[in-house]
Amino acid sequence: MILTDLRSDTVTRPTPEMLQAMFAAPVGDDVFGEDPTVNALEEKTASMFGLEAGLFCPSGTMTNQIAIKAHTEPLSEVICDYTAHIYQYEGGGIAANSGASVYLLHGERGKITPELIRGGIRPNNIHYPLSKLVALENTSNKGGGSYYTLPEITAITETCRQHNLALHLDGARVFNALVAANESALPYGACFDSISVCLSKGLGTPVGSVLLGSKPFIQKARRIRKVFGGGMRQAGYLAAAGIYALDNHINRLADDHAKARILAETLQSCSFVQEMQPVDTNIVIFRLVDAVTEEQFLRELATQNILALDFGPQTIRLVTHLDFTEAMLEHTVKVLKNLNF
Ligand SMILES: *Cc1c(COP(=O)(O)O)cnc(C)c1O
């Protein structure tokens, strides 16, 4: 029986067509700025989002951490939701890499508002850190794939500009947000000072994220990437997968969202489910009833060759993706309906 892996949208393998594009890529030494495929990926991604320049990096953690370091200084502060990946899942990197502190907001399903941000801005007084940067996450991972619409983002941009705060987007799943909201990436450039886009999540490449911003910002980011050890040489083989994905794997994200909705509908009527989070994109999060532990649930699924993720006490996360086929969906729905504890 084939394995159905719903732990994350990072588990995908490159398609044969993507591999072909990778093998065919012209390459050079990117630390010298001489890899034509990396340059093409950086330019392509930047122009999609209406920004001047891009920087190809090994991971989304690196693009986020570079952006935070470029926007802040030691003794300054980053404002974000308490569920944010940059705070929860990047190993405390903000403190270690940037010497900055974090002001945590309690938004709704990972989403924050201008009001919440205004409440997080420190008074101009030597007792406090200097508020410097606001970071949004779209879609929100811990928020269960919730997303911002452009008008919501524009209101936040205005607040940040009024208070002289930079605005960064952790766009690990930004294309899921854009497809779900039926919006274009182009206006994002006018809203954010920097954007991190992951290629290795829903877009299905093996490696890489792109950081976007103005030319001077990316120049600064390029220096920081070198210090972080992220300067890669013939990275065009990896960048080619990104170009292929941007051309071919964005619109199909709607399939992942439809499959996630079917999983949610199935779970809704399962006796082992206590509570479902709303499902807006490709992430399904639910709470198990007290009588069933995460370990028990995951073990039962695994006997049917299905993998899911323990996402905290009594909480399970499923993520749909490129390699989650119709046949796997049918199998998963059948297994969930027949699970008994
Ligand atoms: C996956 C993810 C990242 C980056 O993760 P890497 O594994 O370092 O590429 C950043 N933000 C969010 C919200 C993510 O889900």
Pocket-testing residue among 8, 198, 209, 228, ligand 1, by greatest number of atoms within 8 A of Cβ = 198
Among the candidates 248, 279, 305, a domain finishes at 248
Of ligand 1's listed atoms, the one at least distance from the Cα of 140 is: 13
Statement to judge: residues 233 and 268 lie in one domain: no
171 CA to centre of ligand 1 in angstroms: 9
Average pLDDT along the chain = 98
Instruction: Indicate whether 51 and 169 sit together in one domain.
Output: yes
User: Could you tell me the CATH number of the domain that includes residue 115?
Assistant: 3.40.640.10
Question: Of all helices (H) and strands (E), which one includes residue 213?
Answer: strand 209-213
Q: With 90 as the cut, is the pLDDT of residue 341 above it?
A: no
Are residues 290 and 196 both part of a single domain?
no
What integer pLDDT is reported at residue 147 of this predicted model? 98
85: CA distance to ligand 1 center in Å?
7
Q: How far apart are CA 75 and CA 128, in angstroms?
A: 9
Q: How confident is the model at residue 133 (pLDDT cuts 50, 70, 90)?
A: very high
Task: Quote the pLDDT of residue 123.
Answer: 97
The pTM for the full model equals 0.97
210 Cα–ligand 1 center, Å = 12
If asked whether residues 175 and 322 sit together in one domain, one would say no
Spatial separation of the C-alpha atoms in residues 217 and 163, rounded to whole Å? 20
Q: 178 and 311 share a domain?
A: no
- Dist. CA 155–CA 41, nearest whole Å: 30
SS3 content of the chain, % helix, strand, coil (to 5): 40, 20, 40
- CATH classification at residue 302: 3.90.1150.10
Please state the domain count of the chain: 2
Domain hosting residue 218, numbered range = 16-248
Residues 98 and 207 in one domain: yes
Distance from residue 143's CA to the centre of ligand 1 (Å): 14
Domain shared by 154 and 291, yes or no: no
211 pLDDT band (50/70/90 cuts)?
A: very high
* Residues within a 6 A CB radius of ligand 1: 59-61, 64, 85, 137, 141, 170, 172, 198, 200-201, 209
Task: Indicate if the pLDDT at residue 1 is higher than 80.
Answer: no
How far does residue 99's CA lie from ligand 1's centre (Å)? 21
**Is 212 found in the same domain as 127?**
yes
